[in-house]
A = this chain, B = another copy of it.
Amino acid sequence: MTLSLVARHAGVSLATASRVLNGSDRKPAEDIAERVRASAKTLGYVPNAQAQALARSTTGLIGLVVHDISDPYFSSIAKGVQRRAFADRHQLLLAAADGIDELSTVGAFIAHRTEAIIMAGSRRQEINPELVAELSRYQQNGGRVVTIGQWWLDGAGAVTIDNHNAGLELTETLIQAGHRRFAFLGGPEDLVSATDRRDGFALAMGRTGLVAESITSNAFTSQGGYEAATSLVERRGADGARGLTVIAGNDIMALGAIAAFRHAGLVVPGDLRVAGFDDIPNLRDYSPGLTTVRFPLEEIGVMAADISLSHAEPRTDRVVGEVIRRESA
């Protein structure tokens, strides 16, 4: 079903049919318009977005690249992005970039002429220069880039997450609450968000003259947290671990760590304390309640989409976390 078929069926020109069916400033007469709509309805006309995109040179597409959509951190963000995009009649192209294929993923988005590309949490210590080049060219051609986590691309918008401050505040809060012996079960060394959290932790420690009993680096997953905790217990023995306050790189690592401690016969918060970051959904169901730093994940997605869709200068929105004390620490 094409527009010209509809036009013929309604006995009008292509141009007129286009004007009544797919918006325009010029408004055809109401009787004509009605006839066209009727024809469209009976023929089951659905506009071809591809053809429209070609003619208007704008696609109504926005692209989101995440590390792992099954990670609650990213799926919460995705939900926000999708909601905001949909409200603006835009469609969401979703891709996962588990590292190496980031470039080809972005390439695919560019091929599809997405109006914006949102990069969630992929800021590594050393950014792939090819990626930067690709995204920069994309921007020069009118594409908009929004990064989530940190700002790391010239000319791009961003929703920055103050991980350093989160690490600092969480640690200070716990120190003020009387905690003294700390271990940090951090995320990957090459992820800026992970090292920022760790550095914030280290700063708080330094200010108080405390020294961390252990600082490790593992995957940002439940398994990563589990392994980090397991090896911590192996190295120090259950008795050595007792009394520690363990800060994990994020909530799912924290949950994995707690599971590992439990398997090692250690009870949280009885034997040791654990805290995380993010406040992922449904944490309320978890026992013990996890002490964490809350970030409004879905809202972050909305903000990123907002910047994507805006016509103004790309802006940077800052998000600061809020320490949430629960039972685990």
Q: Which residues of A contact B (CB under 8 A)?
A: 1, 44, 46-51, 53-54, 59, 68-70, 72, 75-76, 78-79, 82-83, 86, 89, 91-96, 101, 105, 107-113, 137, 141, 222, 226, 252, 255-256, 258-259, 262, 281-282, 284-287, 298
Whether A113 contacts B262 by the Cβ 8 Å rule is no
Q: Which of A68, A69, A93, A113 has the most CB of B within 10 A?
A: A69
Among A70, A91, A258, max chain B CB count under 10 A is at A70
Q: Which residue of B lies closest to A75 (CB)?
A: B75
Residues B281 and A70 in contact, CB atoms below 8 Å apart: yes
Distance in Å: Cβ of A248 to nearest Cβ of chain B = 12
* Alpha-carbon distance A110/B45, docked complex (angstroms): 11
Specify the chain B residue showing the minimal Cβ separation from A105.
B86
Other-chain residue from B1, B70, B111 in contact with A48 (beta carbon distance below 8 A): B111
A259, chain B: closest CB distance, angstroms: 4
Beyond contacts A70-B78, A259-B287: 19 other A-B pairs, Cβ-Cβ < 8 A, are A46-B107, A46-B110, A46-B111, A50-B50, A50-B53, A50-B112, A69-B79, A70-B72, A70-B281, A86-B101, A92-B94, A222-B282, A222-B284, A252-B282, A255-B286, A259-B284, A259-B285, A262-B287, A287-B287
Question: Which chain B residue lies CB-closest to A76?
Answer: B70
For A113, the chain B residues whose CB sits under 8 A away are: 48-50
Of the A-B pairs whose beta carbons lie under 8 Å apart in the complex, a sample of 11, sorted by A's number, is: A46-B110, A68-B79, A70-B75, A72-B75, A82-B96, A89-B108, A91-B95, A93-B93, A222-B284, A258-B287, A259-B284
Contact A49 B82 (CB under 8 A): no
> Which residues of the other chain, B, contact A44 by a CB distance below 8 angstroms?
137
The 7 closest A-B pairs by CB, nearest first: A255-B285, A75-B75, A50-B53, A70-B79, A259-B285, A94-B94, A49-B112
A112 touches B94 (CB 8 A): no
Name the B residues within 8 Å of A53 (CB-CB). Answer: 50
Partner of A255, one of B68, B83, B255, B282: B282
Quick check: A95 and B82 within 8 Å, CB to CB? yes
Residues in chain B near residue A258, CB distance under 8 A = 285, 287
* B92–A95 CB distance below 8 A: yes
Bound-state CA distance A116–B47 (Å) is: 17
A79-B96, A95-B92 given; A50·B59 CB < 8 A: yes
Give the residues in chain B near A94, CB-CB below 8 Å: 78, 82, 92-94
| Shortest CB distance A135–B (Å) | 12
Q: How far is the CB of A267 from chain B (nearest CB, A)?
A: 10
Contact A96 B83 (CB under 8 A): yes
